Amino acid sequence: MKHSSECTCEQSLVETLSGFSAQHPESVIYQTSLMSALLSGVYEGSTTIAELFTHGNFGLGTFNGLDGEMIAFSDEIHQLRSDGSARVVSPDQKTPFAVVTQFVPQYRVKIDEPMSREALHAIIDEQIPSDNVFCALRIDGLFRHAHTRTVPRQTPPYRAMTDVLDDQPIFRFNQRDGVLVGFRTPQHMQGLNVAGYHEHFITDDRQGGGHLLDYQLERGVLTFGEIHKLTIDFPADKAFLNANLHPDDLDAAIRSVES
């Protein structure tokens, strides 16, 4: 990933949250399974949402059967469904793939003018230029537009994710307040996770959202911080053990399903 050295905001707008971070333990990313497993059709996991939340209260993922998108923040966790709706998640629901952390932001940026997704990413890349560390980010604000997709629930025998996404519905939220949760993952982690930026969105009334394809922020607050530790729980079931986790077109396949 090539990071921009230019920032669209004045340096003075970037506030280092050193006092906040000093009072909180170092963040660790906890991950269930691998993105390459999800890509190959491993859509059933044994980790419950209750168990997942013992490792972090901020993150994203999906649910068994690939039943929509997950977004978690501030002790809230919602399921974003293929009809564009959202609902509170039950503690006993399970996930085949999720990434969570205890969010410890180190930077805060107030955005007072319209800014594209690329410009917001450039702010983060300016402050955390190394592509060899993880970054967690959150945006609270008014979105001029937010274009999302949400995968419909699948039934066995499961198809590969690249085939499933041919049927994905697209939703467009215009002039909506909401929350964005995301991660920036190093390029060398492609396959283990999703390299680059991976972001989910939910409206302020918690009624809709999904996996973000594009967005523009009207105004709001961006908070973010770097993470240097990763823990992965590998499944032990037959589907995972028999999955092809390193196909020749892995990078292209992940980019096609996540962009």
* Residue 17 pLDDT level (bands cut at 50, 70, 90): low
Give the residue extent of every domain in the chain.
24-258
Radius of gyration of the chain (CA): 17
pLDDT value of position 14? 59
Between residues 255 and 194, the one the model is more confident about: 194
Give the whole-angstrom CA distance, residue 14 versus residue 224.
11
pLDDT digits (tens, 9 = 90+) for 21-43: 445 557 899 999 999 999 999 99
**Is the confidence at residue 9, as pLDDT, over 50?**
no
pLDDT digits (tens, 9 = 90+) for 57-70: 999 999 999 999 99
Give the whole-angstrom CA distance, residue 198 versus residue 251.
14
pLDDT value of position 208? 97
Between residues 242 and 7, the one the model is more confident about: 242
Give the closest residue to 185 by CA, choosing from 36, 29, 72, 58.
29
Q: State percent of the chain over pLDDT 90.
A: 79
**Is the confidence at residue 189, as pLDDT, over 90?**
yes
Is domain 24-258 annotated with CATH 3.30.565.10? no
Degrees (nearest 5) of the Cα angle 229, 186, 137? 75
